[in-house]
């Protein structure tokens, strides 16, 4: 039986920050379950792509649609060896679901590996699990991280105990390598 990773997301998550970790971890032999609140297994999640076109912030373009594997209300943290929290707009609204916040808290209480990228730290801040951690995120989320008790660093990737955070999808290679290290998996090249 494959070890399982819980990928906690929702509509309008950043496409690259869902699909790349999902497929990379599957390549390593993990079963990656896409877990979403307010949807059931088999429902579809709409991902988006964020792009910079010369504005002060990004624009949002339509990305892929992918199926939900497990409803958040049915997910059990104990069934998983690690948690991935992609960015995009999804963390902003999935943090309003009690079952989502509880799942995050259970991963931290069990000291299981957690990987959050970009706006994913918004969910971690809402779950009150950042106190005493050193993190990075999309720079626009730095204030939320600090208000949640974390030390924010302007670095592409930061590891702090069981948590690895990254600023955005261009940091995938180092972010995913650090997460795989936390999981105890080995990549031989």
Catalytic residue IDs? 119
Q: Is the CB of residue 35 less than 8 Å from the CB of residue 71?
A: yes
Give the pair of three-digit tokens for residue 85: 């929290």
Residue 184 has a CB neighbour count (10 Å cut-off) of: 10
Phi–psi pair at 95, nearest 5 degrees = -70, -10
H helices of the chain, in order, are 15-27, 90-94, 98-109, 121-126, 142-147, 172-183
> Is residue 133 packed enough to be buried (19+ CB in 10 Å), middle (13-18) or exposed (0-12)?
buried
C-alpha gyration radius of the chain: 15
């Amino acid at each position: 039986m494959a070890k399982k990773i819980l990928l906690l997301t929702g509509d309008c998550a950043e496409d690259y920050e869902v699909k790349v970790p999902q497929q990379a971890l599957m390549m390593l032999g993990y079963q990656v379950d896409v877990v979403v609140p307010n949807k059931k297994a088999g429902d579809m999640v709409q991902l988006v792509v964020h792009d910079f076109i010369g504005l002060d912030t990004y624009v949002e373009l339509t990305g892929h649609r992918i199926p939900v594997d497990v409803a958040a209300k049915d997910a059990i943290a104990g069934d998983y060896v690690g948690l991935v929290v992609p960015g995009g707009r999804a963390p902003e609204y999935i943090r309003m679901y009690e079952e989502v916040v509880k799942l995050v808290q259970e991963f931290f209480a069990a000291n299981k590996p957690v990987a959050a990228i970009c706006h994913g730290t918004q969910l971690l801040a809402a779950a009150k699990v950042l106190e005493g951690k050193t993190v990075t995120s999309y720079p626009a989320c730095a204030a939320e991280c600090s208000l949640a008790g974390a030390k924010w660093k302007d670095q592409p990737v930061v590891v702090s105990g069981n948590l690895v955070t990254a600023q955005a999808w261009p940091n995938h290679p180092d972010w995913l390598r650090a997460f795989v290290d936390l999981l105890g998996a080995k990549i031989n090249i």
